[in-house]
Amino acid sequence: MTQKEINIKYTECDSVDSLTDDDRILVETAVKATERSYSPFSGFCVGAAVKLANGEIISGANQENIAYPSGLCAERTAMFYANATYPGVAMETIAIAAAQKGRLCELPASPCGACRQVMAEYQTLAGKDMRIILAGSRKIMIFDRVDDLLPFIFDSLK
């Protein structure tokens, strides 16, 4: 038996001012997208912005439904729209932000497992790492690849 270990590296900073211009714009786009959340049931407004390799930025917000499981997270709304609009174009970075009662959450919201799985698939499809920026007003976390958020992804159907 061998015990193994996985190390996850990420970068943390406390404000958008520490980011590159591209990353800052992406975070601001995600924050703006929280305003387009349809979340009457949770009151939790999530925004996501995807930077594509062709330079486009696609954003999305969570969409809820009275039949709860029919709703969709902000990240998947944005990624599905991105790949439906520009099929196969690499998603270089996704920024995610969340707001409650009209205020950006202080701490970053971490994407759910289903969104991580979808990120993983698009990363594999592109053959290029997808960066993830989780943005709160007091803390920003940057992951260089989806594997750092979701090790051992399901990819057995090859």
Binding site for ligand THU (CB under 6 A): 39, 42, 44, 46, 62, 64, 71, 73-75, 111-112, 115
Cα dihedral 99, 102, 104, 110 in deg (nearest 10):
0
Nearer to ligand THU, 71 or 136 (CB): 71
Task: Give the nearest distance from C-beta 127 to ligand THU in angstroms.
Answer: 25
Q: Which residue has the tokens 């990240």?
A: 75
In the complex with ligand THU, the residue whose CB is nearer, 73 or 142, is 73
Please state the closest distance from residue 157 (CB atom) to ligand THU, in A.
Answer: 24
The active-site residue, picked from 12, 56, 64, 75, is 75
Q: How far apart are CA 29 and CA 35, in angstroms?
A: 10
75 has catalytic annotation = yes
Q: How near is the Cβ of 105 to ligand THU at its closest, in Å? A: 11
The two structure tokens encoding residue 117: 């799985």
Cα–Cα distance measured from residue 73 to residue 7, given in angstroms and rounded to the nearest whole number: 28
Q: What is the CA radius of gyration of the chain?
A: 15
What residues are annotated to the active site? 75
